[in-house]
Amino acid sequence: MTDYIDKIDPNATIMCSYSSTLKYKCNYKMLITEIMKTTHQQGPQMLSNEELFINGLKCEIRYNSGHYNGYITDPVINNIREDDIDYCPHGGFTAGWGFDCVHGGDLSLNPMFNLTTAAFSIELLQIPFPLNPPKGMFSNNATFKTRSFVINELKKLTMSILKHKKEKDDAYKNIHV
């Protein structure tokens, strides 16, 4: 894998998002190196499944197919519907209490997501990341949503869940006083 990293232009940059409002230009080679620290290779894919607690709720961050996903996995969500809370994560809910970062306006580091048919080659099936930073498929303003971006979204989402739970608990207490 080191040979692969050495082929990436050390001066190449990619637009990234740290939050819904903060976009910045980051070094592409450094970004790939950081992602590789928390992922493992399975075939050509780089994968990770990281469990963490955010605002006391169990969450997961997954890296799969060139982009991050965020999930709330805490049992507290079992009796809460997505439309009960006042925050909708980036791109909306895509898998139960989860969201992904591969929508219009998002960049994916999956080599297959950033191709024209004419550029396809069998070698692309063997590499975990494109050698050159991808360009936006639907927008020139597209950004790669970083792990930090997903953590920020999960913070907002967990706060909204906890707010709803508190309001529901307070209403229950008032009824049974």
Q: How far apart are CA 102 and CA 67, in angstroms?
A: 6
DSSP category for residue 123: G
- Does the pLDDT value for residue 91 go beyond 70? yes
Q: pLDDT by residue (tens digit) across 11-58?
A: 999 999 988 888 899 999 999 888 888 888 777 678 899 999 999 999
Specify whether the backbone of 174 is left (phi greater than 0), alpha (psi in -120 to 50) or beta. Answer: alpha
From 66, 21, 29, 26, select the one nearest 48 (Cα to Cα): 66
Of residues 51 and 174, more confidence is placed in 51
Q: pLDDT by residue (tens digit) across 98-157?
A: 999 988 788 888 766 554 444 444 455 556 677 778 766 555 678 999 999 999 999 999
